[in-house]
Chains A and B, each alone.
Chain A
Amino acid sequence: MDAALAIPAWRANLATIAALMARAKNELLRVPGAAIPGVLAPTIFFLGLNGVFGALTQLRGFETGSYESYLVPVSMLQGAGFTGAAAGVNLARDIEQGWLDRLLVSPAPRWVLLAGTVLAASARALIPATFVFAMALPLGAAWPGIDGLLVAYLMVAAIAAVAACWGSMLALRFKSQSAAPLMQVGMMGLILLTTAYAPLALLQPWLADVAEINPATEVLEAARQGFVGGVTWAGTWPGLLALTGLLALFGALALREMRRTGV
């Protein structure tokens, strides 16, 4: 029997993606404490950064007097970055333990195997983002409005997908969980070499230049707009465009590594 023709290819692919996403949730539900770092870390990161640099809003040039409002989208995106990188670590573990071979030896297309990992990370990233948001509100962060919240969540899910592609690429390249810190570092760099700490005008010249060309700046500003003002299309489309570019780039790199693994 040619099993690959048992059902239409698109249905088989969707079913495989769904099955891989279902497996990914086991890490959350069946490993005691596994969810805690991913949720707690960005939350505490938010509290820590706010506690450390909160006084910066005293400087002229901040568009808000609330460092909490300024910072909460950064922490939401950081949570997405951590979650996506964790997906890369899990893939590295799967490689080390031979599990990936089981997937590679099946007729499922390589992009389907990658999509399962990436989409699982996108969904999972909404959990820490919600936690951070829920913590930030009573501490003084502004309510962003439904539109602001939806835009922020969209940015979070998409950045998690970018991070998962980055993590997967490194996992497939190095085939070792030891690459985990590198996965984290890459995403932190992407998100922090932006207007994460202060507005563009207050950054040192070199950092301002980098932030201007870093596509993640647009993503962050799009996620931030509800918290510091209001959502507009002009403030949103650059973020969407940046995300499209990032997903295309990192998705292609990850898929290339996946295709190079095995035949």
Chain B
Amino acid sequence: MTGLPGGALDADCFQEAYAHSSIDTIPVPLPPLDSPKWNSSLRAFALGFKSVSATIFSAVLFATYIGIGALAHDSHFSLGWTLLSTILVWAGPAQIIVITTLGSGATILQSAIAVTVSAIRLFPMVASVIPLMRTPETKRRQLILVAHFTAVTLWIECHRFLPHVPRDRRIAFVHGLGCGLLCITLWANMIGYFLAANLSQTLGAAILLLTPLAFLFSTARNSKELSDVAALVLGLLLYPLFSLMDSGLDILISGVVAGTIAYGAHRVRARA
């Protein structure tokens, strides 16, 4: 997360922040700002819905949610529960934490604490996405669904697409984009769930491996700062140690310790 000014709308700011990634080289397939296609909210919704085909993150999301579907199946959750968790939670890390911790016998409180720590990152994301589409007439309740859809994928795509969307059509556009991404993940959940139920053990294992692989590499790709990289590496290495304690809070303790060491490394370097 680079320090984007809250209300910055011009693509320059975003392209400067992400100049070292390839996101901004993909053309945005939207009609010009003055096109009559933007005259209706429904058209804007449809354009947002269709835009999921123009994002590389759709494929990553698809693979991740196939993995989540398979994980839920092998952790003995029902398909309806899995789909409902995707609709209501709408955050891959939180869903995986709920499924793996509850599946391995943690208490509800332990899961809730781990989930809420993983979800704090949503606070600054929502806070930086909302100003992109607010107008003086916008009521807060019109933005609730936008806040709900906000997660790392939508957060990145808003900064890429919204400069090409007229301001008064942006909420409809983002609703369409969010619904499109939701459709992708629900289909992926069902596919993963049924594959895990019906495939051979080897292929089932391959599907379950999708989740750690997709999460590791997408997190590594998003880790630009020293503290993020150190937290990722230390978190991977320290968990096996802390899991020996078998306290039920292993994930949380290793996360706080590894994250705090990583933050310390960032402080030491900042002072040097």
Is A bound to B?
no
Chain A residues at the B interface, C-beta cutoff of 8 Å: none
Interface residues of B (CB under 8 A from A): none
